[in-house]
Structure 1
Amino acid sequence: MQSLLPKRHRRLLIILALVVAAAVLFPSEQNSPNASQRQTIDLSAKANNKLTLDPLTEMTSAKTEPSLANIQQREKQPQLNTTTEPKPANSEVNGSQIKQATLKPELVDATSTTLQPLKISEAAKPAESAEAEPIATKISEQLSDSDALGTLESLKQGGELHLGVRYPLALSIPLSEMPSEPEHFYTLKRQTVKSGDSMALIFSRVGLSARTLYNIDQLGGEAKKLRTVHPGDTLDFYLDDQDRLVKLNYPQSKFETLVIERDQQQKFTARIDTQELEVRTSFAQGTISSSFWNAGISAGLGQGQIMALAAVFGWDIDFALDIRKNDSFMVLFEEHYIDGQYAGNGDIIAAEFINQGDIFRAVRHDDGNYYTPEGRPMRKAFLRAPVNFKYISSSFNPRRLHPVTGKVRAHNGIDYAAKVGTPILAAGDGRVTKSGYSKYNGNYVFIQHSSAYMTKYLHLQKRYVKTGQRVKQGKTIGTLGATGRVTGPHLHYEFLVHGVHKNPRTVKLPTSTPLKGEKKQRFMPIAKARIEQLDNTKRVLLAMN
């Protein structure tokens, strides 16, 4: 044999034989457990009356969890005897058999400082002796912040985490560095405007200088509202610890307030603070038994609403002389609320008035004017009555007697009996042709409205217009009196068409131009919806009666 193989080959053959012998005598720890090793798992139900197939089950049921240091120590000591009797080396499960799992991003709870448990399939669970003490019974050690940061950094680089170990997540939450504002305390001084007060006097009472008032007055704009304060108004002054004005509040209405405020540059600014309004729709209806005014009060309308309703239909109905018993009305109107609290009434949005069998309807357009449901303006060239109905004392007297003769006759006009000083209004736009005094007419005013129409106003107490002056419809031209040939205070009113006397209560008056084009297209859906509201409300009220 030695003669057949060269010396070099014989040396290689000896080395190979030694390697094989070493492999047989000292098996590698990386080899899979053989059949005898698998048999070390106790499959009987003698111990604790349970079948232990998965050592990780005991690990998770323990009160504590193994830390990274525990597992690393276990890996360094692959043969751990759990009893006082020596066990074969092959009966132990070495640390390399515990498989490691790569942490997936979706398994991290961003709001927690711990990692969620990983789910491991049955094939990935390691086998361990039932008699071995679970690793989870050892005290878990917490990683420091530096170790946690290092672990997260290793994860970013593809590192692995050990199963059953809690890893703290270091969260660095910087504290707010916003500087805390110092507390300021102000003194409130409320002033109620008295008769004869001026802003200079009010500022002096509060202890503010005239210079402060001058600086505010120079702001102009909204600040000019301070020039027109009225008795009963309230002003709230907020002063700092040096008695300097910081803020001034002047309520303009229930939902608007003028605010004068000192800014960081020690300069004053003016603005209007407006509270958000909630607009609701309400309704009222009434039937006249004694007077329109009393019927409106009984229906829950305010004085302003009653006058507004009369103004809507004032071009078609003489509320001083034309109202009769059993006339009726219905009104849809706005109510304003601030923070759920009632803050007053708004505009009339639709109304119906039935006068002596004639039905009049009006709808408010978004331009603020009222129109019939067909789009014709309620406003006419002339008012039916030149005197406000609320000043007329008598009602439901269609056969008025002449104040002098005591007879019932037209005597070329209508008489309105009221108190001396009652305002008399121009029935329409025009030019004053005469303003004077005579023995029979007393103080009088004649107004030419066009080449066809003229109105006359007699027995005035005072005259507020002069000959040649132009006037607008509704302007006060004088006050009711008892001058001239009269037995008591009243207004004698005449309406002439081409020089012929006509009954002002029945004469057909010229109308304004109706809505056309885009304005009418925008109005018609509004009118339809409002009229439907009126009709539906009437049906509901009838059903309730």
Structure 2
Amino acid sequence: MLSLLPKRHRRLLFVAIILVIAALLIPSEKKAVSASQRQNIDLSAKTTNTQQATPIAAPNTSEPSSEKLQLTETQRVATPQVQENKAKPVAPAEELADTPVAVTSAIQQEAKPEQSSEIASTNIAAANEIAEASNQPSALTQAGSAADNSVKVSDAAELIAQLQQGKELNLGVRYPLQLEIEPQQALEEPEHFYTLKRQTVKSGDSMALIFSRVGLSARTLHDIDQLGGEARKLRTVHPGDTLDFYLDDQDRLMELHYPQSKFQTLIIERDKQDSFAVKVDTQELEVRTNFAQGTINSSFWNAGIGAQLSQGQIMALAAIFGWDIDFALDIRKNDSFMVLYEEHFVDGQFAGNGDIIAAEFINQGDVFRAVRHADGNYYTPEGRPMRKAFLRAPVNFKYISSSFNPRRLHPVTGRVRAHNGIDYAAKVGTPVQAAGDGRVTKSGYSKYNGNYVFIQHSSAYVTKYLHLHKRYVKTGQRVKQGKRIGSVGATGRVTGPHLHYEFLVHGVHKNPRTVKLPTSTPLKGKQKEIFMPIAKARIKQLDNTKRVLLAMN
């Protein structure tokens, strides 16, 4: 029908339609509907077909939701703005048909904020009708395109800053984000495959011979030996030890592994500079506590084996109590002991025994207890050291008449004879004291020694006192440090009154003046504060274990 009208009439008809629509959509302020009476319009509905009715939400007296307000604001911002000019003459219909979005935008600027929701949907519908008549894109499509263009121009960093500041962004709009892509990681180095040659050390082997069997040069062995430090342990390999040599395709030594225990391995490896480096690989240990208990029937050694203690643990137990008990002479039947010790595990597998952490020994009715401290020494539960000290000189002497001399000329016989002790000159009757706690192993008389006393202080230390005027102790008697055991005299083969004093360590005579004597300092201050709670807990653990064993028996 429109095609039958002249072109001029068609233009006037379009202008009239636009004016009528504008008059209907822009009511006066007096006829404006209040916010409480307006209905919310769902703008999410598609407007691709102008003949489909726009769904309208049920009446709601509450304020529009924030989501709808944001969407309305998005539409208003995304639509190109046209400056308002009421005095400007109305454009011809064809020109208006070419710019439907501009008309819609102008109409939106005429509306008040509270009317934006209604006007937005109605304007879109009207603009779509005009666009459909002139084969132009819809207003919503135009608005979306404009929004995309506005966002593309914006800086992504600014949008991120808005998000961090808590500002809301427009719903339904895509924002570009700058992504920092990390550079591709360097490819891992390819695996190297080495040839393993294992060597078991045999009796009479040397490192030079072992390296020769593997096919390595003496130069390689020299370079490793020059590393020093931990590498020097290779000099003391023992028969039965294993050495793992890892060689490359050119038969060069790349790594050498020397297991020193179940959790420690000495490693020699070639670095990128083609030189060798040494390190010790230590696996993480799990420490557990175990106990052993035994009663002596025949000997202490057999009782220890029966309690499933290792040889090292039996010797360690004897060393702990050796200051108070002579394990060669003092042990009696029905004496008993109990030991708490550490066990080491690697990946759940047993890797060997650790230190004894607490022990009890009952000898002839006397109870001796020891607890290990962090310094590696053992103390009584009260903090007194199990290892006893020695007096440097057991007598108040005037002077030393003869010093320690392995090649001394004997004053009586005139022959070269070692003088294995020190002669302290003093008046006859001067008191002679025990140099340390121990047990009198001999107290007697001989032609050459005169009156003498021998004292065993532990499995390692023995002191001898010769040429005494009188003896005040008997064989088998236990003595404390400083106890009077005799007096200075001139008995035996001597030239004058003096005390001949000898000091033996593991059966070897040492100079009493220069030998390194064990110390015996009780724990004090902070060290004692640390030790006492630990000792209390260990002793309680011993007592609880004894009660459990008694209950089981």
| TM-score (norm. length: structure 2) | 0.55
Equivalent positions of 1:503-522 (< 5 A) are 504-510=475-481, 513-515=520-522, 517-518=524-525, 520=528
Structure with greater helix percent: 2
- For 1:289-344, what per-residue CA distance to the aligned partner results, in whole angstroms no more than 9, with x for missing partners? 44433433343322221221122112322333433333222212222233443321
The alignment partner of 1:219 has SS state of coil
Structure 2 letter corresponding to 1:217: D
Task: Map 1:205-244 to 2 at 5 A.
Answer: 205-244=213-252
8 Å CA contact 1:200, 1:210 repeated in 2 = yes
Within a 5 Å distance, the mapping from 1:168-183 to structure 2 comes to: 168-178=176-186, 180-183=188-191
- 1:13-24 superposed matches below 5 A: none
Q: Which residue of 1 aligns with 2:366?
A: 358
* Secondary structure, aligned partner of 1:530: helix
Alignment CA distance shift 1:222-1:51 (3 Å): closer
Paired residue for 1:14? none
Question: Which residue does 1:86 correspond to in 2?
Answer: none
Give the counterpart letter for 1:330 in structure 2: M
Is the deviation greater in 322-331 or in 500-509?
A: 500-509
Aligned position for 1:391: none
Post-superposition offset of 1:73: 7.6
In the alignment, what sits opposite 1:300? 308
What residue is the counterpart of 2:294 in the other structure?
286
- Does structure 2 conserve the Cα–Cα contact (< 8 Å) formed by 1:495 and 1:501? no
Q: Which amino acid aligns with 2:479?
A: K
- Of 516-525 and 266-275, deviating more is 516-525
TM-score (norm 1): 0.56
The aligned length equals: 394
Give the structure 1 partner of residue 394 of structure 2: none
Q: Which amino acid aligns with 1:152?
A: A
1:251 and 2:259 are equivalent in the alignment: yes
The alpha carbon displacement at 1:446 in A equals: 11
Deviations 1:71-107 (A, max 9, x none): 958999xxxxxxxxxxxxxxxx9568999xxxxxxxx
Q: Does the C-alpha gap of structure 1 residues 378 and 155 become closer, same or farther in structure 2, counting only changes over 3 Å?
A: closer
Matches within 5 A, 1:251-330: 251-330=259-338
Q: Aligned partners of 2:168, 2:529: CA distance in 1, in Å?
A: 74
SS at match of 2:318: helix
Any conservation in 1 of the 2:270–2:276 contact (CA below 8 Å)? yes
- Secondary structure of the corresponding residue to residue 172 of structure 2: coil
Which deviations, in whole Å up to 9, do the C-alpha atoms of 1:118-142 show, x marking residues without a partner?
A: xxx999855646996999999x999
Deviation at 1:506, TM superposition (A): 3.0
Deviation, 1:192, is: 1.2
Tell whether 2:147 aligns with 1:152: no
Q: In 1, are the aligned partners of 2:39 and 2:57 still within 8 Å (CA)? A: no
Alignment-mate amino acid for residue 297 of structure 1: I
Quote the offset at 1:353 in angstroms. 1.0
1:198-219 C-alpha deviation (Å, 9 max, x unpaired):
1111112222111111111122
Q: State the distance in 2 between where 1:276 and 1:189 align.
A: 27
The one-character-per-residue Cα deviations of 1:455-479 (angstroms, maximum 9, x if unpaired) are: 779xxxxxxxxxxxxx9975699xx
Give the letter aligned to residue 189 of structure 2. E
Higher deviation after alignment, 312-321 or 177-186: 177-186
- Please, what is the CA RMSD of the aligned residues? 5.7
2-side partners of 1:263 and 1:446: how far apart? 58
Paired with 2:197 and 2:108, the residues of 1 have a C-alpha distance of 80
User: Where in structure 1 are there 5+ consecutive unaligned residues?
Assistant: 1-23, 77-92, 100-120, 383-429, 435-444, 458-470, 478-492
Report sequence identity in percent: 57
Matches within 5 A, 1:129-528: 148=152, 150=154, 152=156, 155=159, 162-178=170-186, 180-380=188-388, 498=468, 500=471, 504-510=475-481, 513-515=520-522, 517-518=524-525, 520=528, 523-528=531-536
